[in-house]
Chain A
Amino acid sequence: MTTIRLDGVSRTFGDVRAVDRFSATIEDGKLFTLLGPSGCGKTTLLRMIAGFTELDAGSIWFGDRRIDTLPAHRRNTGMVFQNYAIFPNLTVEDNVAYGLRARKVGPVDIRARVEKALARVRLAGYGSRWPHQLSGGQLQRVAIARVLVIEPAVLLFDEPLSNLDAQLRVQMRVEIRQLQQSLGLTTIYVTHDQEEALAISDRIAILRSGKVEQIGSPEEIYRRPQTAFVAEFLGGTNMLPGVAGSFDGRTTEVAACGTTVSVQGKAAEAGQKLLLSIRPEALRLAENPNGPVLHARLVLREFLGQIQRLHAALPDGTQIRISTLGSPQVVAVGEALAIAYDPAQIAVYPAP
């Protein structure tokens, strides 16, 4: 039973604020993901929890026990590394037994626990193999078995899937999630892949230059991004700069990209600059529009199988993307499109 609490955690490298007053509470048994572009501080944060990077300020607690003052080898965390970090000089068995030996577990007990852990990651019978005889996915499973077997207080994953190919990546993330849920282990997971984060997490923290942009469930973060950065980072939205116009009691007219966009509610005082976020899947091609419409010209059509993505130019030339299911009637490139939208689905952010 471990609840992790991070309280005002900070770290500076030279004059770079790698992590800036990060605070969060991760409830027992939940999978918490640190998501952000490279250099956002997510790995630094994970390494602080593991004990490989020291804190400049703040504290880290497992339950009511403060752990940031403990040396790394006494924190009882189980970390899965990006490159697996399987000891090349030990067999699979000995790799998995490594942490148990460090804990002075008896040899009979070790045997039983190692076998159980290997079976759990579907590697039963691989104990006597050498690491160089295994594939990337198998090495990954050894790395997971190696940390599960010590029954750590928390599991830490540092971009564990980034060295695998696309298909295996999806398969492994399902396995990791199922293991984590069945064991009920509190887990912190670092990734830069937004799809992976959305798929696997109970909660996500989006980081940018060491600071939290937003913490919430995958749905919250995807549907109600609180900042323009989050909206853009998750699923690539259309971000249009505009100037607020009059508010008619129901919608605000915003002048953007040579046209006018209606936004639900009072977006801002008239004349104020702002950013509009419209997700590609919130736009539709309209045959007989009876709501608000954007007029654009088709520039490029990408066929992606289940969906197709259209690139269209607004009157001032700004390009937007529209995702549509199936393949509706195709307009030739260069011809006019009428694009319908729901004013309620447009998010408004102050212009930077």
Chain B
Amino acid sequence: MKGFRYAVVFGALALLALFLLYPLSLVLDASLRVNGTGAFTLANYAQIFASRYYVSSVGNSLLAAAFATVGATLVGTPLAFCLARIDIPGKTVLLTLATLPLVLPSFVAAYALVLLFGHAGVVTTALRAIGIPMGPIYGLPGITFVFLLTLYPYVLLPSIAGFRAIDASIEDAARNLGGSRLHAFRTVLLPVAMPAVLAGALLVFIEALENFGVPVVLAEDRPFLAVDIFKLFAGEADNNPAAAGALSVLLIAGTAIALVVQRHYLSRRRFATNARAAPPLLPLSRGWRALATIFSWGIVALSLLPFMAVLFISFLHFRGPVLTWQLALSNYSTLLEGSFRPLYNSLALATITAVVATLLGAPIGYIVARHRGALSAGLDVIGMVPFAVSGTVLAIGLIIAFNSGVLVLTGGWLILVIAYVVRKLPFCIRASSAIVHQIEPSLEEASINLGVPPLKTFVSLTVPLMAGGLIGGMILVWITVASELSSTIVLYTSRWSTMTVRMYHFLEGGEGAGSASAAAAILILFTAAPLLLIHRRVRRQDDPML
């Protein structure tokens, strides 16, 4: 078993070193050289800070992330309280629906916003027709709004758990000592749930900062960090790998700081754990309960509205970029008449990644959960690094690293799988270690004590016990990879194009709105259907990142 442990630890470290740390170090290296390959220089950074465009690129990204974080907290916390403590009709369904935005592709929501409120959007044109001018939704307002709508579950899920984990007696004690319900909420419930709320909020910040799909759809020509990195690296006009590297380093620094703050904060505050008696539902008057119901259902419905709109619009006929009100399948036929290839690619890549990431993540998660020691602590930290690295930056690093030399991977499918696996590894490790934490160590000891050797015990007892949870995690990986855009857009080749890439090109071209909506609808179907099938399992696991 010791041999197994070392094999897993060193295997995992080697993989992460080769496919994560090495590519990232090359990105850092490129940012410190003239034109990315020449002599050492700090000029790339100086150039960025001297350029008004790039300073505002950094600024815009930080602002959007900050606004989204505040907004998601302000929406997610009260919603969590309602779902945890108020008898809202259809609560189970509501909870399942509320988790959907986490896995639905956020750039599809952004695209829906364009379809509805863009220059030629359905609502915009309708309002213009009756003489009401519509303000621009491009740039900061639209991007922040989409982030808020798609990322609030990061706050919601841990906050619900936080409010539920407060033992009923705590609140009773506050009231027994003379506090009103409101007073008890302000002085006890909120502070105790706060770590969960803030931990979720920091995840929103990280996700918003490194998100590529939403700004690429909604930024138009406005500067945004994630988009500018992509343009500087892959753009035909203003190609500048050194500047792309420098911006990447800044982006990673931002997300890494937020991640470190989140981990540090969580490690020091663990108030709410294991309520013996879950807090009871609040006795509310009819009016208040109706208000809470409208609020809760309203938020969730609003967050799913863009996806619904896309689904609906995908069945309408487009005449060029202009939408008509005729029902038709023309969008799907245009999308698929070229080739089914991208669809197959998406499915195949997602399946391979889900299997590989789970097979890698399960033993790592097992060791992180079971063994204390410098090695497994180190593994835990390094395994989290991919979370702070945006898909675009990792992809750029992989291209620099494996474009030439001993190991050439660019142009094939393997490099896509590698990028996906590395990015999904933190999730798989967390999911697997969360499952292992629920399996009593004494079960394995009992098996060994009864004469079954350790490695055989792991295979014949532990793995079957973990299987249920692992399959749930595997499906989540499959879903998020099927709708991945940020690293795919850097790494794909025409042979290995995916649905998301197709959709991106339709959008970029401008006249493919119909096909884009069909592609978006297919993506929604691929993500929502399996999720709804396993919704009970998903809800139980909540978010293993926390």
Binding site for B on A (CB under 8 A): 50-52, 71-74, 76-79, 81-83, 85, 87-89, 98-99, 102-103, 143, 146-147, 150
Contacts and interface: CB of A to CB of B under 8 A. Distances in A.
Interface string B365-406: 000000000000000000000000000000000000000000
Contacts of B451: 73-74, 76, 99, 102-103, 150
Nearest to A104: B451
Contacts of B449: 50-51, 72-73, 77-79, 147
A83 B452 CA distance: 20
Interface stretch (B57-65, B335-343, B439-447): B439-447
A79 B446 CA distance: 7
Contacts, number: 64
Given A146-B450, A150-B450, A81 B464 contact: no
Contacts of A102: 450-452
Residue of A81, A89, A102, A147 with most chain B CB atoms under a 10 A cut-off: A102
A36 B362 CA distance: 39
Given A89-B464, A150-B450, A52 B445 contact: yes
Contacts of A73: 448-454, 457
Interface string B435-471: 0000010110111111111100100010011000000
A98 B445 CA distance: 13
B452 A87 contact: no
A72 B450 CA distance: 9
Interface residues of B, number: 17
Contacts of B464: 89
B524 to A, nearest CB: 36
A103 B449 CA distance: 12
Q: Which 3 A-B pairs have the closest CB atoms?
A: A99-B450, A102-B451, A85-B446
Given A74-B451, A102-B452, A50 B465 contact: no
A349 to B, nearest CB: 39
24 contacts: A51-B448, A51-B449, A52-B445, A52-B448, A71-B453, A72-B454, A73-B453, A73-B454, A74-B451, A79-B445, A83-B442, A85-B440, A85-B442, A85-B445, A85-B446, A89-B461, A89-B465, A98-B450, A99-B450, A102-B450, A102-B452, A103-B451, A146-B446, A150-B450
B456 to A, nearest CB: 8
Contacts of B440: 83, 85
A81 B446 contact: yes
Nearest to A81: B442
A169 B309 CA distance: 63
Nearest to B446: A85
Contacts of A52: 445, 448
What secondary structure prevails in chain B residues at the interface with A? helix
Interface of B: 440, 442-443, 445-454, 457, 461, 464-465
A161 to B, nearest CB: 16
A78 B440 CA distance: 18
Contacts of A50: 445, 449
A74 B453 CA distance: 8
Contacts of B445: 50, 52, 72, 79, 81, 85
Contact of B447 (A74, A88, A98): A98
B363 to A, nearest CB: 19
A111 B377 CA distance: 45
A199 B449 CA distance: 27
Residue of B440, B448, B451, B454 with most chain A CB atoms under a 10 A cut-off: B451
A155 to B, nearest CB: 11
B465 A72 contact: no
Contacts of B450: 73, 78, 98-99, 102, 146-147, 150
A300 B452 CA distance: 57
Given A73-B450, A89-B464, A143-B446, 18 more contacts: A50-B445, A51-B449, A52-B445, A71-B454, A72-B449, A72-B454, A73-B451, A73-B452, A76-B451, A81-B445, A81-B446, A83-B440, A85-B446, A98-B450, A98-B452, A102-B451, A103-B451, A146-B446
A78 B449 CA distance: 7
A87 B453 contact: no
Nearest to A97: B450
Contacts of B443: 85, 87-88
A71 B452 CA distance: 11
B90 to A, nearest CB: 30
B467 to A, nearest CB: 9
A102 B457 CA distance: 10
A87 B450 CA distance: 12
A87 B446 contact: yes
Contacts of A82: 442
A315 B397 CA distance: 82
A146 B447 CA distance: 10
Nearest to A78: B449
Nearest to A103: B451
Residue of B447, B449, B452 with most chain A CB atoms under a 10 A cut-off: B449
Given A50-B445, A81-B445, A82-B442, A87 B454 contact: no
B373 to A, nearest CB: 12
Contacts of B465: 88-89
A72 B464 CA distance: 22
Contacts of A51: 448-449
A81 B449 CA distance: 11
Contacts of A103: 451
A157 to B, nearest CB: 12
B446 to A, nearest CB: 4
A294 B461 CA distance: 64
A280 to B, nearest CB: 35
A75 to B, nearest CB: 8
B461 A87 contact: yes
Nearest to B454: A73
Nearest to B457: A73
A117 to B, nearest CB: 13
A87 B442 contact: no
Nearest to B453: A73
Contacts of A88: 443, 465
B471 to A, nearest CB: 15
A89 B466 CA distance: 11
